[in-house]
Structure 1
Amino acid sequence: MDHLPPVLNPFEPLDIPYLGGTEVGYDGLGYEGYPSRQGWDVDLLKHGDLQGRTILEAAHFLQDWLYFGMLRETLRAVPDDPPLELDGLLRAEQTTKQTLVTTAELADLLQDLYRRLEQLPSTDEYYQRFRNCMLLSCGVWQDLMHLCENEGVSGPQILSHEILLSIQVL
């Protein structure tokens, strides 16, 4: 198809900054209850109310919950699976020394999950838990996108476009 422009740079990754410290804050004690365990009222946050915290604190919480928490819940075949390790999920940018989120090992993690799910007598509990987490995540993400679109009207933009995109892609 010669009418399409040539792809000059076919792979240019989007840099997603990691907003946390040395470890993921998601505790794995239940996806739905994580916000309250961290002292957040998600209904207020979805409307731009930072509840006395900074935008960076809110963004860190949301990245921990909606990205790393969802990833942890997805990769957890049974409740007593080990916690999610950051190895392979973060990388240091050599020039800026910034820590970035990466999906380089996601395919291997999903293959491992698939093997573990095949060993289970029933995956009904896993899929129901996963579905509930997805419904909650999607609802919160949609509200944050709406907040982002109406920045200044309904409240501050809590998450950058890159982090919102990373949550959506996940």
Structure 2
Amino acid sequence: MDHLPVPANPTLGVLKIPYLCTSLYDGASFAGYPARHGWELSVRRGSDVVPVEGSSGETARTTDSERVMTQNGEPATKEAAAEFLQTWLYFGLLSETLGSLWQPDMQLQFFVEDADGNKWLSTQVFEDIVVRWADKMAEIPIDTTPAEYREVILEESERFQKILELIQSVVLFTRHIEDTPLGPEQTLALMAMGLTLTTTCWTIYRHHFDGRNPEHLSSFEVGKSITRPYLEDHMRRMNWCPSDILRIMATSSSTVMWYYANLQPPRADKNQGVH
């Protein structure tokens, strides 16, 4: 994930996420993607299987039931589910957010292949695309009044919020699968991209929200519950002070947590028992 900031001599380095997709995101509606491709996320309670309509956050939080992912009515393998989730959540988010600026074949620019033939997600082109997207969003059509444009912006904001809410529900859903197909690294990559898009939205649209940050532009952080243990474990192994870890994790976004985790601990040579 090339766009994630890291300090000099990072302890984790570039976040390497396998590129799993075997097909391009189809460019149609985000919420309808699973149904179009024969996938269903459901909750099994005893002998009953209840479809998760829109991947509801309510059922995703239920703890006394089993989460099931099926493809064409059959239980999906972890590998197939991981491929599906990457295509849907990652590239579907890009497609839905960027709108006409995104073309399906642009997905092919988001991976690199190493000498061994392994494919890895790459965001080398992401920043350039986001800049072009921001420029496009900032344009007010000549035949549109400021009031009309504000209504358009608010509608787009609400649509974007629904996409983020659905992604958060799916992340919560997969967290309760014993052998989850959406691990901490993949979740961190998704959170980082989502936060970049939400920050860009806020930068462009903030004057339309009366200077107030819309709640959804700061709440796309459900993935912290998954990425935090992953980064905490690394920082403990690097001999970070436990109180420093607690302070950083309590106040930082996923991307800031990632940056800190790549730093050398400031007091690694001191007695960690005295604070």
TM superposition score normalised by structure 1 = 0.76
Per the alignment, do residues 82 and 75 of structure 1 end up closer, same or farther by CA in structure 2, a change over 3 Å counting? Answer: closer
Specify which of 115, 123, 143 is matched with residue 103 of structure 1. Answer: 123
Give the structure 2 partner of residue 4 of structure 1. none
Query: Unpaired runs of 5+ in structure 1?
Result: 1-6
For the pair 1:50 / 2:49, whether they are aligned, the reply is no
Give the structure 1 partner of residue 202 of structure 2. none
Residue-by-residue CA offset, 1:16-48 (whole Å, 9 max, x unaligned): 001112x42x21211111111111112348644
Give the structure 2 partner of residue 115 of structure 1. 135
Q: How many residues align?
A: 151
For the pair 1:60 / 2:83, whether they are aligned, the reply is yes
Q: Residues of 2 paired with 1:82 and 1:114: CA distance?
A: 13
In the TM superposition, residue 63 of structure 1 has moved relative to its aligned partner by 0.6
Bigger proportion of residues as helix = 2
TM superposition score normalised by structure 2 = 0.49
Q: Residues of 2 paired with 1:108 and 1:87: CA distance?
A: 15
Give the structure 2 partner of residue 3 of structure 1. none
Specify which of 96, 102, 105 is matched with residue 73 of structure 1. Answer: 96
Q: Residues of 2 paired with 1:119 and 1:34: CA distance?
A: 30
Q: Residues of 2 paired with 1:117 and 1:27: CA distance?
A: 23
Higher gyration radius (CA): 2
Asked if structure 2 preserves the Cα contact closer than 8 Å seen for 1:145 and 1:164, the reply is no
Query: Unpaired runs of 5+ in structure 2?
Result: 1-6, 44-51, 53-59, 61-65, 142-148, 194-275
Q: What SS does structure 1 have at the residue aligned with 2:191?
A: helix
Q: What SS does structure 2 have at the residue aligned with 1:132?
A: helix
Give the structure 1 partner of residue 205 of structure 2. none
Specify which of 71, 92, 107 is matched with residue 86 of structure 1. Answer: 107
Give the structure 1 partner of residue 185 of structure 2. 162
Give the structure 1 partner of residue 32 of structure 2. 33
Per the alignment, do residues 133 and 8 of structure 1 end up closer, same or farther by CA in structure 2, a change over 3 Å counting? Answer: closer
Give the structure 1 partner of residue 17 of structure 2. 16
Q: Residues of 2 paired with 1:120 and 1:28: CA distance?
A: 25
In the TM superposition, residue 160 of structure 1 has moved relative to its aligned partner by 3.2
Q: Identify which of structures 1 and 2 has the higher relative contact order when contacts are C-alpha pairs closer than 8 Å and 6+ apart.
A: 1
Asked if structure 2 preserves the Cα contact closer than 8 Å seen for 1:28 and 1:69, the reply is yes
Identity %: 29
Q: Residues of 2 paired with 1:82 and 1:168: CA distance?
A: 20
Q: Residues of 2 paired with 1:119 and 1:54: CA distance?
A: 45
Q: Residues of 2 paired with 1:30 and 1:120: CA distance?
A: 25
Residue-by-residue CA offset, 1:107-156 (whole Å, 9 max, x unaligned): 11111111111224433332222111111111111222243xxx2xxxx3
Q: Which amino acid aligns with 1:143?
A: F
Q: CA RMSD in A?
A: 2.3
Per the alignment, do residues 57 and 99 of structure 1 end up closer, same or farther by CA in structure 2, a change over 3 Å counting? Answer: same
In the TM superposition, residue 15 of structure 1 has moved relative to its aligned partner by 0.8
